[in-house]
Amino acid sequence: MYTSGHPSSRSWGTEGINAPLQQKATYSFPLKQPRRHQQQQQQQQTLGRQFDAESTHQASPTAAKLFVGQLPFETDEKRLYDLFSAYGTVEHIHILRDSQNRSKGAAFVTYSNVEEADTAIFTLHNRYKMLANRMIQVSYAKNSANISLFGACNAIAVHRMNPTNPVPDMANVTPESRVI
């Protein structure tokens, strides 16, 4: 039997008329979600670590590695090779994939030298669409062994527009391109 009145005086039949209600309501607050740029930065760091751990490719001493983002998930190595080989000698292509082997929409493309990499960046970055409404993003990878002055300046400009894009290690800027 339920008695009406003040909530603290509610009771059920056998517990007595003044026994407090034993049922407690609980509510968990949702965890604070990281901002979009923080999520993207964490994802890029994870992708970079994953690539470093999986990579067994030995690049030439003059090789330059590019990061390519905003790719359609169904993009394969052949399609990337066909696109990027138009701008130079492609040494290696690595599409980033999840644990189920699905594309994450990003890849690394390694050229034989910085001049070819620069041509690809200049021609394709924010200018080429692989999807109807999405431009691909092309810049030097954070851990590229060689980077031109153009590539370093471009990476800084891209980073200013979107801080989630990492700036490559400036120690890797090729000596001949440091002279302005």
In a domain, 68, yes or no: yes
Cα(80)–Cα(109) distance, integer angstroms: 8
Domain that holds residue 61: 38-173
Mean pLDDT by 10 residues, the chain (180 residues): 54 53 50 55 52 59 94 94 97 96 95 96 94 88 90 85 76 53
* Radius of gyration over every alpha carbon of the chain, rounded to an integer in angstroms: 27
Question: How many whole angstroms from its chain centre is CA 132?
Answer: 21
How many structural domains are present in the chain?
1
Q: According to the model, what pLDDT value does residue 156 have?
A: 86
Query: Residue 180 contacts by C-beta under 8 Å, 6 or more apart in sequence?
Result: 149
In a domain, 103, yes or no: yes
Q: According to the model, what pLDDT value does residue 51 have?
A: 45
Q: According to the model, what pLDDT value does residue 53 have?
A: 43
In a domain, 122, yes or no: yes
In a domain, 55, yes or no: yes
Tell me the residue type at 84.
Answer: F
Q: According to the model, what pLDDT value does residue 179 have?
A: 41
Q: According to the model, what pLDDT value does residue 122 have?
A: 95
In a domain, 93, yes or no: yes
Q: According to the model, what pLDDT value does residue 41 have?
A: 56
Q: According to the model, what pLDDT value does residue 88 have?
A: 96
In a domain, 18, yes or no: no
In a domain, 158, yes or no: yes
In a domain, 17, yes or no: no
Nearest to 84 by CA among 43, 148, 146, 130: 130
- CATH code: domain of residue 49: 3.30.70.330
Sign (positive/negative) of CA torsion 180, 176, 156, 170?
Answer: negative
Q: According to the model, what pLDDT value does residue 66 have?
A: 96
Written as six digits, the tokens of 176 are: 């001949």
